[in-house]
Each structure stands twice: as C-alpha cells, then as structure tokens.
Structure 1
Amino acid sequence: MEHIDKMKNSNFNPVMVKLAIIIVMILLLLIPVSMIKSIITERESQNELVTEHVSSKWADKQEIKGPILTIPVSFQTIDKEGQLFNYEKNWYILPDQLNIKGDVSSKSLEKSIYEVIVYGSIIELDGHFDLKKNLNEPQIKEIHYDNAFLTIGVSDLKGIKNQLKLHWNDEAILAQPGSQIQGVVKKGVTVPVKIQQGENYNFKLKMDLQGSQNLSFIPLGATTNVDITSNWTAPSFVGNFLPDNREISSEGFTASWKVLQLNRNFPQEWLDDRANNHQLYMDQSRFGMDLIVPLDDYQKAMRSSKYGIMTIALTFLIFFLVEIMNKTRIHPLQYAMVGLALCLFYILLVSISEHSNFNFAFGISSVGIIGMISLYSLTLFKNKKLSLMLSLILIGIYCFLFTTLQMVDYALLLGGIGLTIILGATMFYTRKINWYQLQIDTN
C-alpha cells in the first residue's frame, strides 16, 4: 500500500502505462497478421500452380504469328580458290493485307477448390500477298517459286481443334504440322503453296483455337486489322499497341486494332541472314489481351489483411476509451484475446472464400467476429449500451473495409478519406479529456 501511495503522489500515470502496454500489444499482433499474409500468399501460389497445370492440359497462352510466305533461293559464288560454291537462303515475304477476326468465348474449369479461366475461339485470317517484288541480291542462281510455303505460327499447338485448310486463291490446301522456319516461327503449321512471280494471291484460314489467360497477335501485314469480340467482361489490353476502338459491357467486349508497317521495326521482306534481328522486333510488336479476374479472392484477402493493423488499433482504442471514461478495468490478456479474434477474421475469410463467393465469406466472417467480440464486451463493459456502441462501430469498420475492397481505381482515395474521418471523430470525442489528470482506479 505504501508503494502504491508513493506512485499516486508522484508523476506516475497508470493511464500512460496502460496505453504503452496496448501499443506494445498492437505491435506484437503484427506477428500473427504477418503469418496470415504468408498463408494467403501460399494459397495464392497454390492457385497459380493449379492454373498453370490446367492451362498446360487445356492450352496455354496463344500467340498468332503469320502467315509468312517463304521462298527458297539458291545462290552461287566463287571462293578464294576459284571454285564454285552453292548455298541456299530463305526469302521471307509478309502479307500486304492481313485481317484477323476473332470470337472468343471464356469459360471456367474447376480443379479441386480452384477455378481456372480458359477460352475457346474462332479465329479467321484473310488477306493477300503481292508478288510483284524483285529480290535484288547478287549471285542469285535460282528462286524456287515451286517450293514456296506459308507458315502460320501458333504458340501452343494442342489448342488447335480443327483440321486447318487454307484457301489460296481458288485452291484449298491442308496444313501440315510443324514449322520449317523455326528461326522465325518456333511453333506452327506449314502450308505448301503454288506461286508465280508477279501475281497476287488471296488467302483465307479459319481456326478453332483453345487457350487460356492471354490471346495475342503479331502485326505482320503492311496493314494489319484485328477485330475481337468476347463474352469476357474484364479484359486487360496488353502489348505494344492498344485498341483503336473498344467497348466493354456486362455482356462482354469488342476491340479493334489497326497497325501499319510503319508502326513496327521490321520490313515486309528479308533473307535468312537477318532473320534473328527481325524475330526480336516481331516479338516486341506483340499485342492482344489478357482474360483476367480483375481482383480475385486472394488479392482481396491480401488487401484486407493490410488493413489489419487499422482494425486492431481502432478496436483497442474503443476498449481503451471505455476503460478510462467508464472507469472499467480491462486486463491486457483480454485485449490480447480481442486482438486474436480480429486476426482470426482473415483466416475465416480466406478459408470460406475458397469454397464460396468472396462477398458471402466476408459477411459470414465479419458477423462471426463482430458477434464474438460484442458478446465478450458485455462481460467486460457491464453496460449494454456500450456493447451496442462497440458493435455498431465494428460494423462500420467492416463495412468500410468491404467497400474499399470492391473499389479498384478509387480504393486509395476512399481509404484515405475514411481514415481521416475516423481520426477526426476520435479527436472530437476525446477533445475534453484531461490526460494529465486522468487516472485509472487502482483499488
């Protein structure tokens, strides 16, 4: 008793000590919050592995490159010893006009508790080649027009679901598997064609193609037009060119591109010795779209966990204000149990959302945690009105968090405004407290 009296008569303030303990507890609760973030990251990584596995079986990202007309050319030269030396190169010619139309239908596949977005598509290619070009190279022996062939690049060949038949002027020609120009097109199909110098050739090809996550194109035409329609409502347009026109609605999207040869850094024709450089520039000119979930459940759960420290601090602030204003003593261990209950919310959110809708999981988790803390506060506060006020504040916090999670573009703005309002309200309701004279009853 004598030691307590000395403490009361000195500058010792139990309120400040209690506040320091609460702050330390908040910092310690960052450990379970960090562990929860690790769990979310682990589950998200598992989801990505499942996505990759399903995509590898269905068909992976698809890139359409072509058609490219290849004509073998024989050269003859004389070496230093005066002997004739023969060798061959490929002459690559790109279409003067390339039109691509695609109808992309997305669907979801389920594996265990995970959902993977894939697509099926009908891709139509048409255009024409102008063979009035001349190859102005020295030492040409012969241009083998009779051995010419077209190559259409498809990055994942198992996604092709129909026999490919190329219409070359009035002739229908079946495609053969594999690419014969892997320095330019690594994977694809080959179509032998009959050509003559100085003629124009029209081509048309229809392709039933499966894929997942992404569909992209290489603008090989002197003029390349791409028109895509899809039932997917959340496309992300990626690559070197954005659509000239786009419309996105609740029923899907349409997008169109027009790319000129002047917009890319490779020519309309070249020989083998320049193929590697042009291959690099082709890849750099890629464009298309990702079929993505704009904000999946794991991303939402991770974003919500970043507000964990805010939720814990605000809840502890309410308990602390009740303690000093209502002369109610709350043990640090009771603060700890409330803090752990708040951390448990995120575990419930992730685990339930893996088996149901995220919004439903958020509702169930928040109702459970709010109910648990509110019932616990009845014993601590011994005041139904204070417990009801705590419940309403917690409901407000979780409603604010839920609204913020639904926002993508304005989440930071809403979060900043909300936190400013919360701090302002706290300052208003505590403005008349004399913190120097405030004491906690130690009897």
Structure 2
Amino acid sequence: METSNNENFNDSRQLGFWEKNAVIVKLSMIGFLSLLLLVPSAMIQNLISERTQTRDEAVKDIYAKWGKEQTVAGLILNVPYRVVMKDRDGKEEVSLAFLHFLPEQLAISGKIVPTIRYRGIYKAILYNARLKFGGRFSQPDVKGLKVNPESILWEDAFLTLGISDLRGIKDVIKLTINGKTYGVNPGVENGGVFHSGVTIPFAIDQSMVVNAFNFNFDMDLNGSKKISFWPLGTETKVVINSNWNSPSFSGAFLPEKRDITENGFNAEWKVLELNRNFPQKWVGDQYGFEDASEKNVVLEDSSRKINTATDFTFGVNLIMPVDFYQKVSRSAKYAIMFIALTFTAFFFIEIVNKKRIHPIQYILVGMALVIFYSLLLSLTEQIPFNFAYMISSGVTIALISWYSYTILKSLGLMMLMGIILSGLYVFLFVLLQLQDYALLMGSIGLFVILSLIMLVSRQIDWYNIKQLNLG
C-alpha cells in the first residue's frame, strides 16, 4: 500500500504544470469563453430593444392619426364673478375670477368597439367609443365660497367638458339641458379647469339659480388602447362593455362588477365624492385636471392641482394578449445560463469519455446558442411566438447535435447532447409562459440542474485526471 502511494507521488512529480492543472486551466478557458460570448448576447438584446422602439414609434404614429389614449372629464359648471382690488394708489381694479361646480349625479355608459390597424409588420389597438352621458346639477350654492352674491355673473356662465385628444371626436356633440339643446364650441375658455376639451355657453337665469337642472349628451369618440374617466359627480357611475376579451382595468378604482369572457367584457364602476380629495365646488384655480399622461405634467404641490397620472382617473386598457418582444427579451436574459450549461455538458464529456474538444469548437457551439435569439426575434415578427420558438430551438438543437457528432464521433453522445439541449429549451419555454411563477420554477429548475451535475461528477477523481487534453 505504501509502495503504491509512493508511485502515485512520484508520477505526480513527473507531470508538468499544464498536466497537473489541466482541469483548472480548461475550466478557466471555458469560463473566459462564456464571458466572451456575452458580447454578442448583449448585441442581441440591444437589437431587441431597437426593434421594440421601432414598433413603438410606428404604433404612436397610428395613434396620432386616429386618436390617442382618451381621458374624459365633465361636465363642470364655471361661473365668473367680479373681484375688486385696490392698488397702491387706492384706485379700484376689477378683474374676473371663477366659481366651479361639479354635478351631483354623473352617469356614463357606452360600448367600445376595438379594431387593429397595421403599419408594416406592426399592429396597434384602436377603438371607437359610443358614450352616453347623463347627470344632474343641484342648485349652485355659493355658501362657504366667500363670494359676494351680487358680484356673480350668472349670465356669463359656461360648461366645460374635458377631452384629452379632440382629434378623436367623430360627431357633433349636442348637449341637452332640461329639454333645451345647446351648441358646443371647441377649446376651453379662460377660467375652465381643463387644458383640452370643449365649451358650452350656458347663461343661467334666476330659475336655474334656485333649482337643479338635468343634462345629457352623446359622444362618438375615437381613441387608442386606453380610455379613462374622472369621477366628478357626488356619485359617479360608469358602465362600459366591449367585445375585446383582454382588458386591463387601470387607474385609481377597480370596477365593482366585471365579467370577462371570450366574447368580451362588461364592467361597472361606482365612485363617491368621499373617495377623492377634491370637493364639489371651489373658487379660482385651486384644482385643475391636467392630462399628465399626454403632457408628462408634474404639478407643484403649492398649486394644489390634481395630477391625472397619479390621482383619481379610472378606466380600461385594451391590451394585446401577447407582447412577443417582451418574451424574446426575457428569453435572451437566459443566454448566459444556456452557454454555461452547454459548455458544462461538453466539459464532462471530455472528462468522462476522454474526448478532445478545441476552444474554437466551444466558440462555434456558443455562437449557435446566441444566434438562436436572433432567429427567434426575426421569426416571431412574422409568425406566432410559439411556432417561432419551436422552429428556432429545433434548428439550433439539430445544428449543435450534428456538430457534436462530427467532434465526438459518437452517435450516443450526439443523442445525449440533443436530449440535454431539448430539456433546456423546453425548460425556457415553460418559464416564458409562467409570468407569475417564473421565479419559483426557475429556481427549482436550476436546483435540479445543479443536483444532476453534482450527481454526474461525484465519481470523478479530480486529483487524478491524467488524460485530459487541453485542445
């Protein structure tokens, strides 16, 4: 026994540096090649980002010609009043300020008819919304507003309706108040609280000052992807239905009732005055309703204006069932895992079967793994993602399996590589389908893969590998 140990010791002393450290050198080389292949992998991810940006620009161009995302708010009653102030010389100066009153009841119902338009290979979701508005204003009560009733100019009052993109209006809006029809003017007059919308001159007589009045009107509105509403009533009710079966309910309030089927959806919202932080009446420009999603408006806290992007709008977003660019981007993030595991498989084949694999051959296999993502991206722009994935992974597996046969000269080892690669691509496909459980399944999968590697390597005597050739 002692003689045998001495022989092994003498043999190890006769080995050169490269022979004694062959495993470490080979692993270092494989690690370096894996990191080197991150460069083309990063280029693929940049290509995906560029194609996504090109798609977004094409879609925005379609939106601009049809009608952008719409936000509808109103009606609001605006009443001017005189403000008398004295200057430094004691002379009186008269200016106008405005009172604003919101409706007591606001009911909106309508049907959204979606359509898909194409720009080359890119498609955008557009819609036409047929909306019915109805509601009731209680008598304008100026108590608590600290305004002299005699200074109020009731005859110069006007109503405003906020519409974020006026290009989407497809028919004349006719407003009916207590049975009388009123004309609608484009734009928002000075004193209105919207940055975009229409104005309805509405001279209030004495009977309206002391009584409530009802209103209703229809709106034919084009928009894209998303429609939102402001809850301006003491009680606001919105009922929307559509034949689009992939809605995403967005904003500050979710619908109280919703029904989503393969044939479309139906949703109902009910929002109270108590659910928001602005009142039913105010003076001046204390509150405003800016479309921050359109103008990227960031309002100062001191202005006390309300920011659409972060406050109380609600509505529905018509989403695409599958964003294939997102899936391709997610799959490209696993490139380093595929390269490392495939190289690991080839490395163990070298160890166990004493085969020679040159670094150039490692690089060629790695490039085939990277080109898979380019194939997937180009194909999925033309055909459904699942078919594109099946074709891209199939030809990649076939190419690497065939190449491994030319290197290893073994049909069994070729089939083993094919099985390993097939398992990896099936594993990735499952991860792409499971958005909510992707992290869990990915962690479990990597744990299983590591266990298999440990199982295969447990019989290898890493201190006594003499036949490993560094290529």
Match in the other structure for 1:54? 62
Q: Is 1:205 paired with 2:217?
A: yes
TM alignment of 1:348-387, pairs within 5 A: 348-387=375-414
Is residue 280 from structure 1 mapped to residue 288 from structure 2 by the alignment?
A: no
Mapped to 1, the partners of 2:233 and 2:151 lie a distance apart of: 26
Per the alignment, in what secondary structure is the counterpart of residue 45 of structure 2? helix
Equivalent AA in structure 2 for residue 218 of structure 1: W
CA contact (8 A) 1:15 1:440 kept: no
The equivalent of 2:239 in structure 1 is: 227
Moved more, 219-228 or 341-350: 219-228
Task: Kindly provide the amino acid, as one letter, of the partner of residue 426 in structure 2.
Answer: C
For residues 11 and 435 of structure 1, do their structure 2 counterparts lie closer, same or farther at Cα, with a shift above 3 Å needed? same
Q: Are residues 422 and 281 of structure 1, via their aligned partners in 2, closer, same or farther at CA, if it must alter by over 3 Å? A: closer
Superposed counterparts of 1:238-277, under 5 Å? 238-275=250-287, 277=303
**Equivalents in 2 of 1:381, 1:182: separation in Å?**
81
- Partner deviation per Cα, 1:265-300 (whole Å, 9 max, x = no partner): 111112225345464266622222332336511111
What is the CA-CA distance between 1:183 and the residue it aligns to?
A: 5.4
Equivalent position SS for 2:55: helix
**CA separation of 1:354 and 1:281: change in aligned 2, threshold 3 A:** closer
Contact 1:13 1:439 in 2 (8 A): no
Aligned: 1:398 with 2:406: no
Give the structure 1 partner of residue 169 of structure 2: 160
Residues 105-155 of structure 1 deviation map (CA, whole Å, 9 limit, x = unaligned): 222211112111222211221110011523553544343333322111100
Residue by residue over 1:228-269, the C-alpha shift from the partner in whole angstroms, topping out at 9 and shown as x without a partner, is 222333333332223233333333333222211112111111
User: Equivalents in 1 of 2:159, 2:317: separation in Å?
Assistant: 28
Identical counterparts, % of pairs? 42
Of 346, 349, 355, the residue aligned with 1:322 is: 349
Paired residues of 2:23 and 2:468 also in contact (CA < 8 A): no
Q: Offset at 1:167?
A: 1.8
Deviation at 1:78, TM superposition (A): 6.2
Q: TM-score, normalised by structure 2?
A: 0.87
Partner SS for 2:20: coil
**Helix, strand or coil: the match of 2:306?**
helix
* CA distance 1:389–1:182, change in 2 (3 Å): farther
CA distance in structure 1 between the aligned counterparts of 2:19 and 2:85, rounded to whole angstroms: 102
Find the aligned partners of 2:64 and 2:98 in 1 and give their Cα distance.
33
How far apart, in 2, do the equivalents of 1:425 and 1:375 lie? 24
Q: How far did residue 316 of structure 1 move?
A: 1.1
CA distance in 1, matches of 2:41, 2:161: 51
Match of 2:296 in 1: none
Partner of 2:106: 98
Instruction: Write the distance in 1 (CA, Å) between the matches of 2:26 and 2:18.
Output: 17
Q: How far apart are residue 76 of structure 1 and its match?
A: 4.6
Does residue 151 of structure 1 match 2:160?
Answer: yes
CA distance in 1, matches of 2:131, 2:354: 73
Distance across 2 between alignment mates of 1:114 and 1:19: 45
Using the alignment, how far apart are the partners of 1:46 and 1:220 within structure 2?
38
Contact 1:74 1:140 in 2 (8 A): no
* Alignment correspondent of 2:197: 188
Q: Which amino acid aligns with 2:306?
A: L
Equivalent position of 1:109 in the other structure:
117
Q: Measure the CA separation in 2 of the matches of 1:169 and 1:60.
A: 33
Supply the distance in 1 between the matched residues of 2:370 and 2:140 (Cα, whole angstroms). Answer: 72
Contact 1:77 1:139 in 2 (8 A): no
Instruction: Tell me how far 1:424 sits from its aligned partner.
Output: 1.4
Q: Are 2:92 and 1:66 equivalent residues in the alignment?
A: no
Judging changes above 3 Å, is the alpha-carbon distance between structure 1 residues 439 and 209 closer, same or farther for their aligned structure 2 residues? farther
Match for residue 361 of structure 2?
334
| 1:426–1:88 Cα change, 3 Å | same
**1:101–1:124 contact (8 Å) kept in structure 2:** yes
- Provide the residue aligned with 1:125 in structure 2: 133
Aligned to 2:15, what secondary structure does the other structure show? helix
| Mapped partners of 1:19, 1:78: distance in 2 | 86
Gaps of 5+ in 1: none
CA distance in 2: counterparts of 1:282 and 1:68, whole angstroms = 16
Residue 375 of structure 2 aligns with an amino acid whose one-letter code is L
Asked whether the 8 Å contact 2:351–2:468 carries over to 1, the reply is no
Name the CA shift for 1:182/1:83 in 2 (closer, same or farther; >3 Å).
Answer: closer
Instruction: Verify: 1:41 aligned to 2:49, yes or no.
Output: yes
Judge which range, 206-215 or 342-351, deviates more.
Answer: 206-215
Distance 1:212 1:395, change over 3 A: same
CA distance in 2, matches of 1:248, 1:388: 47
Cα distance 1:337–1:413, how it changes in 2: closer, same or farther (>3 A)? same
- Give the equivalent residue in structure 2 for 1:137: 146
Q: Is 2:189 the partner of 1:177?
A: no
User: How has the CA–CA distance of structure 1 residues 97 and 282 changed in structure 2, closer, same or farther, with 3 Å as cutoff?
Assistant: farther
Confirm or deny: 8 A CA contact 2:193 2:285 kept in the other structure: no
> By how many angstroms is 1:391 displaced?
0.9
CA contact (8 A) 1:265 1:281 kept: no
The answer as to whether partners of 2:19 and 2:466 remain within 8 angstroms in 1 is no
Structure 1 residue identity aligned to 2:368:
A
2:210 alignment partner, SS class: coil
> Which stretch has the larger CA shift, 74-83 or 354-363?
74-83
Query: What is the distance in 1 between the residues matched to 2:265 and 2:21?
Result: 64
Q: Which moved more, 1:399-408 or 1:127-136?
A: 127-136
Distance 2:87 2:32 in 1: 84
CA contact (8 A) 1:76 1:86 kept: yes
Q: Mind listing any 5+ residue stretches in structure 2 that lack a counterpart?
A: 1-11, 289-302
Of 228-237 and 389-398, deviating more is: 228-237
The aligned counterpart of 2:297 is none
Task: Name the aligned partner's letter for residue 201 of structure 1.
Answer: F
Residue 273 to residue 105, structure 1, CA distance change in 2 (3 Å): closer
SS of the counterpart of 1:247? strand
Name whichever of 230-239 and 331-340 sits farther off.
230-239
Asked if structure 2 preserves the Cα contact closer than 8 Å seen for 1:266 and 1:278, the reply is no
